[in-house]
């Protein structure tokens, strides 16, 4: 623990140089702007910035990307509050109470509360990142091929379930489609080309970043062009500096939302949106002011914003310790780590023990910058919301094209981006969530190589896949998740609980 604090302190000190502070400032500010603009998500922001940071030293590049990530998740609250359109999917819950507050003439207060919530959420997540990640990395050292195979399936099943609560089937189909997409190209054991049909571009596989840029860039552009635009709530702005007493009044909600957000971030592929929604639901469930939720509740707003920003460091925990992303932006960050020669995974605490704390310090610095700019530049930043989407979207399209091309300097990646943009649009229109698909693309190689390696090691026996303790825990969790997603099982459980409640209430009456 003491050693960890030492690393953390050293890392924070190393960011107090002029160049690091400059990088933190511009990347966080750019992240806030990206988050504010409907149609630009944190995932796209991190993906496009990844191409710009190719030539940077690895430490600077990761710092810039984390600042973009933290800034974008926070920035989305501005458009959620003022436009009633979440800037990123993570801010959807923010709109429920943030926009009513703005309509009541308290837009400044809503933005101040959102800033405080995001700041505290990031800080709670950061503390949990520093405390959970080393232990999880140590536990993950016991993982073998069997466990990694189940972990990949678990990620798909849980992400499919939680990102499509009203129809998990669509979430699972999206996830397995993502795994299938990852099968294109040379496989990991013999470098045998699959689904290439003699084409050298296909033999190289479909890159994660072009697929991501297509699904979170081109798809978003098509959606923005489809939907009607909205203008900001206008009028004079009240004070944006939150009152400490008003924030601390909800200290229990803040801590609960911070922990929930971090845990949601930790679950593979689930990410910030669920961090916000589950925190919001928990806050509503335990609130004394339930009637205010959805009508401008400060507690609801603070829960949503604490939850989504706490999920950012939460999503970095599996990235660092298991090389499995906790969210879509974290998937890009994982790809960026590999590009810059950093190998996250169970060995991280052995090979480079200071790295986890360096990332924690990066989150800390990004959070400070986010709070600083969030309060200081509130009014100037609002001009961003006045940019008509019709003028912005063509520029975004150019950036998506350049971003896809720049990764490997091949036109094939631009075509992949276009194809997946169209596929993403069709899937989203049909109600399929895209996050499990992206997670599938990341987890595909892990699933493939570990299943085949595991089968070879066990000489074709599936016993180790079933009987090893961690494997057993994972497949049982998968089974429970799948069963709970079946409507007939849900109804049967509902009837069972109702009957039990009726029996217990009648026995207490007696």
Kindly state the tokens that stand for 395.
């520029």
C-beta closer to another protein: residue 137 or 442 = 442
Which stretch, 132-140, 193-201, 359-367, 468-476, contacts another protein (CB under 8 A)?
A: 193-201
C-beta closer to another protein: residue 65 or 361 = 65
CA distances from 201 to 71, 407, 408 (A): 35, 14, 11
Rounded to the nearest whole angstrom, what is the least distance from the CB of residue 57 to another protein in the complex?
Answer: 13
Which stretch, 133-141, 313-321, 385-393, 463-471, contacts another protein (CB under 8 A)?
A: 385-393
Q: CA dihedral defined by 149, 205, 426, 265, rounded to 10 degrees?
A: 40
C-beta closer to another protein: residue 380 or 460 = 460
| Nearest one of 485, 445, 492 to 172, comparing CA atoms | 485
Map the footprint of another protein across residues 299-358, applying CB under 8 A.
Answer: none
Per-residue x/- mask for another protein, residues 204 to 223, rule CB under 8 A?
A: --------------x--xxx
Map the footprint of another protein across residues 435-494, applying CB under 8 A.
Answer: 447-448, 451-453, 455-456, 459-460
Q: Looking at 13, 21, 141, 165, which residue binds another protein (CB under 8 A)?
A: 165
C-beta closer to another protein: residue 133 or 156 = 156
Distance CA 105, CA 97 (A): 13
Distance CA 341, CA 321 (A): 16
Q: How many helices (H) and strands (E) does the chain have?
A: 25, 2
Q: Which residue is associated with the tokens 């910058």?
A: 369
Q: Looking at 15, 143, 176, 355, which residue binds another protein (CB under 8 A)?
A: 176
Rounded to the nearest whole angstrom, what is the least distance from the CB of residue 245 to another protein in the complex?
Answer: 28
C-beta closer to another protein: residue 429 or 498 = 429
Distance CA 27, CA 363 (A): 12
| Nearest one of 281, 305, 328, 338 to 122, comparing CA atoms | 305
Q: Looking at 44, 107, 164, 312, which residue binds another protein (CB under 8 A)?
A: 164
C-beta closer to another protein: residue 221 or 331 = 221
Rounded to the nearest whole angstrom, what is the least distance from the CB of residue 309 to another protein in the complex?
Answer: 17
Reported as type and span, the H/E element at residue 4 is helix 2-14
C-beta closer to another protein: residue 136 or 274 = 274
Residues that contact another protein, how many (by CB under 8 A): 98
Residue 448 contacts residue 188 (beta carbons within 8 Å)? yes
C-beta closer to another protein: residue 134 or 155 = 155
Under the binding rule (CB under 8 A), the answer on residue 231 touching another protein is yes
C-beta closer to another protein: residue 356 or 423 = 423
Under the binding rule (CB under 8 A), the answer on residue 163 touching another protein is yes
C-beta closer to another protein: residue 222 or 361 = 222
Distance CA 291, CA 261 (A): 23
Q: Looking at 143, 202, 250, 280, which residue binds another protein (CB under 8 A)?
A: 280
3-state SS record for 414-453: HHHHHHHHHHHHHHHHCCCCCHHHHHHHHHHHHHHHHHHH
Q: Is 206 left (phi over 0), alpha (psi -120 to 50) or beta?
A: beta
Spatial CB neighbours of 447, under 8 Å, sequence gap ≥ 6: 149, 152, 153, 179
Per-residue x/- mask for another protein, residues 77 to 116, rule CB under 8 A?
A: ------xxxx--x--xx-xx--x---x-------------
- Please report how many Cα atoms fall inside a 13 Å half-sphere around the Cα of residue 486, on the Cβ side: 9
Distance CA 33, CA 87 (A): 9
Per-residue x/- mask for another protein, residues 235 to 274, rule CB under 8 A?
A: --------------------------------------xx
Q: Looking at 8, 68, 136, 414, which residue binds another protein (CB under 8 A)?
A: 414
Map the footprint of another protein across residues 417-436, applying CB under 8 A.
Answer: 417-418, 421-422, 425, 428-429, 431-433
Angle at alpha carbon of residue 74, lines to 353 and 336, rounded to 5°: 40
Q: Where are the alpha helices (DSSP H) in 267-325?
A: 271-286, 298-322
Rounded to the nearest whole angstrom, what is the least distance from the CB of residue 84 to another protein in the complex?
Answer: 4
């Amino acid at each position: 623990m003491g050693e960890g604090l030492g690393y953390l302190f050293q890392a924070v000190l190393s960011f107090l140089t002029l160049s690091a502070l400059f990088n933190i400032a511009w990347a966080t500010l750019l992240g806030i702007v990206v988050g504010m603009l409907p149609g630009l998500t944190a995932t796209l922001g991190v993906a496009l910035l990844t191409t710009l940071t190719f030539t940077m030293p690895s430490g600077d590049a990761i710092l810039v990307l984390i600042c973009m990530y933290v800034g974008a998740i926070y920035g989305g609250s501005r458009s959620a509050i003022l436009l009633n359109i979440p800037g990123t999917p993570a801010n959807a819950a923010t709109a429920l109470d943030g926009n009513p507050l703005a309509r009541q003439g308290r837009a400044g207060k809503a933005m101040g509360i959102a800033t405080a919530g995001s700041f505290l959420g990031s800080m709670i997540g950061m503390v949990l990142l520093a405390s959970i990640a080393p232990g999880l990395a140590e536990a993950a050292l016991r993982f073998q091929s069997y466990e990694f195979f189940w972990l990949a399936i678990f990620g798909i099943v849980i992400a499919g379930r939680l990102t499509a609560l009203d129809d998990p089937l669509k979430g699972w189909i999206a996830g397995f489609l993502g795994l299938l997409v990852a099968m294109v190209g040379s496989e990991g054991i013999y470098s045998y080309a699959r689904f290439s049909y003699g084409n050298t571009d296909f033999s190289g596989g479909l890159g994660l970043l072009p697929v991501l840029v297509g699904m979170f860039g081109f798809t978003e552009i098509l959606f923005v062009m489809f939907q009607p635009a909205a203008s900001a709530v206008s009028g004079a702005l009240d004070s944006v500096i939150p009152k400490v007493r008003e924030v601390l009044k909800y200290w229990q909600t803040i801590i609960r939302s911070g922990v929930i957000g971090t845990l949601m971030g930790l679950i593979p592929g689930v990410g910030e949106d669920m961090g916000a929604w589950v925190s919001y639901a928990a806050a509503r469930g335990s609130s004394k002011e339930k009637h205010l939720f959805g009508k401008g509740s400060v507690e609801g707003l603070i829960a949503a914003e604490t939850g989504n920003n706490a999920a950012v460091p939460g999503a970095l925990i599996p990235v660092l310790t298991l090389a499995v992303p906790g969210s879509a932006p974290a998937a890009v960050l994982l790809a960026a780590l590999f590009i810059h020669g950093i190998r996250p995974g169970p060995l991280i605490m052995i090979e480079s023990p200071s790295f986890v704390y360096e990332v924690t310090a990066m989150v800390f610095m990004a959070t400070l910058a986010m709070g600083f700019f969030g309060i200081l530049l509130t009014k100037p930043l609002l001009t961003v919301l006045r940019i008509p989407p019709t003028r912005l979207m063509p520029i975004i399209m150019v950036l998506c094209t350049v971003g896809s091309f720049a990764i490997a300097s091949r036109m094939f990646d631009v075509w992949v981006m276009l194809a997946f943009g169209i596929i993403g649009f069709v899937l989203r229109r049909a109600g399929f969530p895209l996050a499990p698909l992206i997670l599938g693309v990341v987890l595909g190689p892990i699933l493939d190589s570990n299943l085949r390696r595991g089968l070879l090691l066990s000489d074709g026996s599936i016993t180790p896949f079933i009987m090893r303790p961690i494997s057993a825990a994972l497949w049982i969790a998968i089974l429970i998740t799948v069963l709970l997603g079946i409507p007939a099982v849900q109804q049967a459980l509902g009837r069972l609980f109702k009957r039990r409640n009726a029996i217990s209430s009648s026995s207490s009456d007696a």
